[in-house]
Amino acid sequence: MMKMTAAVAPAKGERLEIDTVDLDDNLHGDQLLVKIVAVGVCGADIMRAKNGMGRSEFPIILGHEGAGIVERIGDDVREFEVGDHVTISYASCGHCRQCLAGRPYACEHSDELNFGGTEYYGDHRFSMDGQPITSFFQQSSFVTYAKVQERNAVKVTKDVDLSLLGPLGCGLQTGAGTVMHILKPEVGSTLAVFGTGTVGDAAIMAAKAMNVGRIIAVDIFDTRLTEAKALGATDIINSKEADDVPALIQAMTNGGVDYAIVSAPANGLPEQAIRSTGILGHIAIIGGAAHADLSMMNDILVPARQVTGVLQGFSLPKLFTPQLIQLYQQGDFPFDKLVKFYELKDVNQAFEDLLNGTTVKPILRMPQ
Ligand SMILES: [Zn+2]
Ligand SMILES: [Zn+2]
């Protein structure tokens, strides 16, 4: 057992607490012990803490955008060495039909592995005063050391500030991957992005890198829209001030955008995004509302539109994270502009700032 510092969510809707917890640091053959340097805060952490999303119990240690340094490796690990810099992404099983076909983002066991609360081998890795603590995404990286599966870790270059890189394993790969792996917009095509948090902004940066001709950002926060413009949006719309966003976009683009992305879980957005596209429009739903009020005939069939639900931007982190880091180093994916650093003890402030729109991507630094 190792003693360590963690931000623990004690019960549904309560503030996180900084506690000393125990980690069972016995490694299975395919596991790594990673000293976490920094971890991104994502909407999924907040939803889990506030609403108890998923089926796992409290208390829980959240955090699923970890970045750190390999401290120790299991006996069967070949890909990593002690001292490697790594980011930690989503978990997948490796042997279901989707994993075998090279689509681990659609793993049939994704729900239990990422949200089930126990570890890959079925036990609990963390405890406090002998009571088990639920884990998250096979990492729970709001903690000074995390035990992770080799499958979920990505080796990254030591040329870049490691503390920036954790969000590449979730929010950033989701937004960029949606553009690069799913929509694949042609040079000069048109795209509307609904919601300009981390995922939407990553989509905007990726679209700019792919020379999309017109990138229309839609949000309700002016500060975020200004930032979206700095990242590459050619047009911005504050949807609180516009009566009919689809009509506006249809008029701006002479018949609708080619592509649209819904990255915020707000009611009404999927309908708006679909109706903003033209004939043969392709719409990616990342953070969708629970329900949408659509006409299958008028909104989908007649205009021959295509709607795709997105998981992790259909990204293969071991390949895509290094590609995104290279784009960042070339100046074509400036995601550091979204980031504000917080100390682990200020995790509740980071949650608040993400929710009220003052920070796009909070990153927590671990006490060293
Ligand atoms: Zn996330
Ligand atoms: Zn699988």
pLDDT digits (tens, 9 = 90+) for 200-257: 999 999 999 999 999 999 999 999 999 999 999 999 999 999 999 999 999 999 999 9
Separation of 119 CA from ligand 2 center, angstroms?
A: 15
Ligand nearest to the CA of 103: 2
Ligand nearest to the CA of 174: 1
Ligand nearest to the CA of 109: 2
Q: Are residues 11 and 60 in the same domain?
A: yes
Q: Is the pLDDT of residue 135 over 70?
A: yes
Q: Are residues 120 and 73 in the same domain?
A: yes
Separation of 242 CA from ligand 2 center, angstroms?
A: 43
- Which of helix, strand or coil describes residue 25? coil
- The C-alpha angle with vertex 120 and arms to 70 and 99, in degrees rounded to 5, equals 95
Domain for residue 106, yes or no? yes
DSSP string, 80-135: --TT-EEEE-----SSSHHHHTT-GGG-TTHHHHHHSSS-TTSS-SEEETTEEEB-
Domain for residue 188, yes or no? yes
Q: Is the pLDDT of residue 122 over 70?
A: yes
Question: Is 257 buried (19+), middle (13-18) or exposed (0-12) by CB count in 10 A?
Answer: buried
Q: How confident is the model at residue 54 (pLDDT cuts 50, 70, 90)?
A: low
Separation of 226 CA from ligand 1 center, angstroms?
A: 23
Task: Tell me the sheet residues that pair with 162.
Answer: none
Q: Are residues 14 and 142 in the same domain?
A: yes
Q: Are residues 285 and 358 in the same domain?
A: no
Domain for residue 322, yes or no? no
Number of domains in the chain: 2
Ligand nearest to the CA of 88: 1
Separation of 93 CA from ligand 2 center, angstroms?
A: 4
Ligand nearest to the CA of 90: 1
Separation of 150 CA from ligand 2 center, angstroms?
A: 14
Ligand nearest to the CA of 112: 2
Separation of 111 CA from ligand 2 center, angstroms?
A: 10
Separation of 45 CA from ligand 1 center, angstroms?
A: 7
As a residue count, the chain comes to: 368
Q: Are residues 199 and 88 in the same domain?
A: no
Q: Are residues 90 and 21 in the same domain?
A: yes
Tell me which of 285 and 288 has the higher pLDDT.
Answer: 285
Ligand nearest to the CA of 97: 2
Q: Are residues 307 and 179 in the same domain?
A: yes
pLDDT mean across residues, the chain: 95
Separation of 213 CA from ligand 1 center, angstroms?
A: 29
Q: Is the pLDDT of residue 177 over 80?
A: yes
Q: How confident is the model at residue 53 (pLDDT cuts 50, 70, 90)?
A: low
Separation of 42 CA from ligand 1 center, angstroms?
A: 5
Q: Are residues 193 and 113 in the same domain?
A: no
Ligand nearest to the CA of 173: 1
pTM, rounded to two decimals: 0.95
Token readout for 21 is 């917890």
Separation of 64 CA from ligand 1 center, angstroms?
A: 6
Ligand nearest to the CA of 111: 2
Separation of 176 CA from ligand 1 center, angstroms?
A: 14
Domain for residue 260, yes or no? yes
What pLDDT shows up at residue 27?
A: 95
What pLDDT shows up at residue 91?
A: 96
What pLDDT shows up at residue 119?
A: 79
For residue 153, give the CATH number of its domain: 3.90.180.10
For residue 283, give the CATH number of its domain: 3.40.50.720
The residue range of the domain holding 303 is 172-311
What pLDDT shows up at residue 251?
A: 97
Q: Are residues 304 and 352 in the same domain?
A: no
Q: Are residues 292 and 195 in the same domain?
A: yes
Domain for residue 148, yes or no? yes
What pLDDT shows up at residue 51?
A: 82
Q: Are residues 9 and 119 in the same domain?
A: yes
Torsion, Cα of 191, 194, 197, 202 (10° steps): -20
Q: How confident is the model at residue 116 (pLDDT cuts 50, 70, 90)?
A: confident
Phi, psi for residue 340 in degrees, rounded to 5: -130, 135
Separation of 175 CA from ligand 1 center, angstroms?
A: 11
Q: Are residues 23 and 138 in the same domain?
A: yes
Handedness of CA 326, 105, 28, 11 (dihedral sign): positive
Separation of 321 CA from ligand 1 center, angstroms?
A: 14
Separation of 173 CA from ligand 1 center, angstroms?
A: 10
Domain for residue 233, yes or no? yes
Q: Which residue, 269, 322, 288, is CA-closest to 43?
A: 288
What pLDDT shows up at residue 279?
A: 98
